[in-house]
Structure 1
Amino acid sequence: MRRIVVLMVFALVVAACSDDVPVSTSGAETTTTTAVADSTPPTSDEDRITVAALAVGALVRDFNTFGSGHRFTEVLIQSRIDPNAGGKGRFTADPGRLLTVTEKVAIEDALVDAGPYRWIDDPAEFRTEDLLPLIEGSAIIGVGEVVFDLDGALVPVSLWCGGVCGIWLDLRLVYDGGDWSVVGPEGPMMIS
């Protein structure tokens, strides 16, 4: 009896681990087909630029500390990759690489209806020693390096609006039907 139970369990495990999906047919013939699904999102340079720009636009419009629809007097965008962007608290003094012209144009396009903006090299030049913004009502934006995974892309972003006001988080983007879209924050985030 034990041998029959072991054989039945073994047969069930083998059947459960199989890639073959049975297809019903009429008649005595049985056919199987192998399910093949390629749901891996694209990861080209163009996709990297697109998701970074979409994330920055969503951060400024929807995921800032004031809530969706808030308008800043000016958006100051860091011209380098922000190594401190994202919610993982990786604070470092090392500057990231310069954003390319193509990356900057894509980000500008994503911010076209978000109010005035400009590119800055050093965020420290736009705040006081007390961390208050030199331009009242402005926000300093940073974007980190895009990370692609099987679920889409994670884009680390930061928005500092002065004093103890800021948000650092990773935005999840998914690829569906040939387009990228922002789902929302994923993982740890820091808000002050």
Structure 2
Amino acid sequence: MKTITVFCGSRSGVHDDYLNDALRVTEALVRQRITLVYGGGNIGLMGAIANRAIELGGKVIGVIPEILFEKELAHHELTELHQVSHMLERKNKLTELADGFIVLPGGIGTLDELSEEMALNHIGYQNKPIALLNTRNYYHHLMTFLTHTSSEGFMSAQLLDQLIIDSHPETLVDKMIQKSLPDQH
């Protein structure tokens, strides 16, 4: 696994645990020499993970749409910054660059990105691991909803079972790496 796209909030949340765990994920990625790909912003969790990876000498690739670039929300100290025309193009580029995805706490944009990657795995467009960092049980209610969706017949249990979920940042990254290794059987 060479690159992981991290989806997360352009805000930091109300608890320090969100920021602290996001930084721990970043540190684990840099230790493994995994390139961090993200939404290209300089604020919230997005800006924090980019800053931490840069501080540690990691490679960071950002993808930002023109509208956010023009609002001066782009991070200009990245290894690479791709400016794209709109949000759909951003999601496509984030998907294209990734070997897998880590989803940190975030808002509606983060949920949109998670849903898109799950759907792309489901229809067979890709087969990339997706992991959710469950800091402070942030994704507990979402998992309850997805389990209900599956039990009601609107989503396969297999799709749900493919998600990697953990509340410990380093363990989550380790599970992502293990998931990407060829089966040894």
The alignment's TM-score, normalised by the length of structure 1, stands at 0.33
> Which has more strand, going by share of residues?
1
